[in-house]
Amino acid sequence: MRSVPLLPAVVLLALFMLGPAIWSLYGSLTNASLTGKAALNPRFIGVKNYTDLMADPEFWKSIGLTVLFTLASAVVGQNVLGLAIALLQKSAHSVVRALVGTIVVGAWVLPEIVAAFALYAFFADDGTLNSVLGMINIPVVHWLYEHPMLSVILANVWRGTAFSMMVYGAALTEVPPEIEEAAEVDGASGWQRLAHITLPMITRSIATNLMLTTLQTLSVFTLIYVMTAGGPGTDSSTLPVLAYQVAFQFAKVGYGTAIATFMLLIGAVFSIIYIRMLKPEVDA
């Protein structure tokens, strides 16, 4: 009887989350297309799309780029930079704290399409970055052509760090100051207090933030598509971009849906890892 009040929530979750996932799985088992006979009457073809994926080198390349993009920009970039800013703000003057917070959060509250075009202008050949580098006599670098993954990784770090900063800022307020003061009196350095007191006490927040930023980064599409369109060639085609290209540019909707479904599996793997990180504390 206690579970009855939760029934509407469970039904809504099943309808709006589980339902689309099941429909996506079914679509990935068909030859659905935007043109031809398959557009009108898609045919069930079983796991053919998945066997074709396993034999497609572009798919494996895209997986590698997706993992690189996620690890570099979310797991490392956003989390490390967000934690660093939160730690600095903790001891900063209120004016500095407000100014830095406003600047960092400004990148996060921008609509994604606006942020994407701003970052494209920043990394373009005649953009802000090359203009600044030109002032110190560094020749023009074709960032979006020669270093597409580095460009989109830095862009995503700039775009998403604010969320991590706010999560860690809230978590740090829960660390009792008297414990840190006692460690300082005992001669512990700042790094020792961070490693042995602060980080262990915010482990739950770290794992939660890692999961949220990872899942969000796995689905980043607009930022990459506006900046590089997955190019040059397929050198920045992460799984969301590849799924879009296959489904809507090459009209292979079923094949593109298989790629999108595979993304769900990758997200599930990351989620399981982070949930296991939380499990000892939950059990305690």
CATH superfamily for 77-250 is MetI-like (1.10.3720.10)
Domain boundaries, the chain: 77-250
Closest to 172 measured CA to CA, from 86, 51, 272: 86
- Alpha-carbon span 91 to 64, nearest angstrom: 39
When pLDDT is averaged across residues 261-267 and rounded to a whole number, the result is 87
Phi, psi angle pair for 30, to nearest 5°: -120, 170
pLDDT level of residue 283 (50, 70, 90 thresholds): very low
- pLDDT value at residue 181: 82
- Alpha-carbon span 270 to 276, nearest angstrom: 10
In this structure, what is the dihedral angle of CA atoms 78, 80, 82, 87, given to the nearest 10 degrees?
180
Least confident span in 13-27, 109-123, 153-167: 13-27
pLDDT in tens, 39-84: 888 899 999 999 999 999 999 999 999 999 999 999 999 999 999 9
- Alpha-carbon span 143 to 37, nearest angstrom: 42
- Number of other residues whose CB lies within 10 A of the CB of residue 55: 8
- pLDDT value at residue 3: 55
* Mean pLDDT, rounded, of the chain: 88
pTM of the model: 0.88
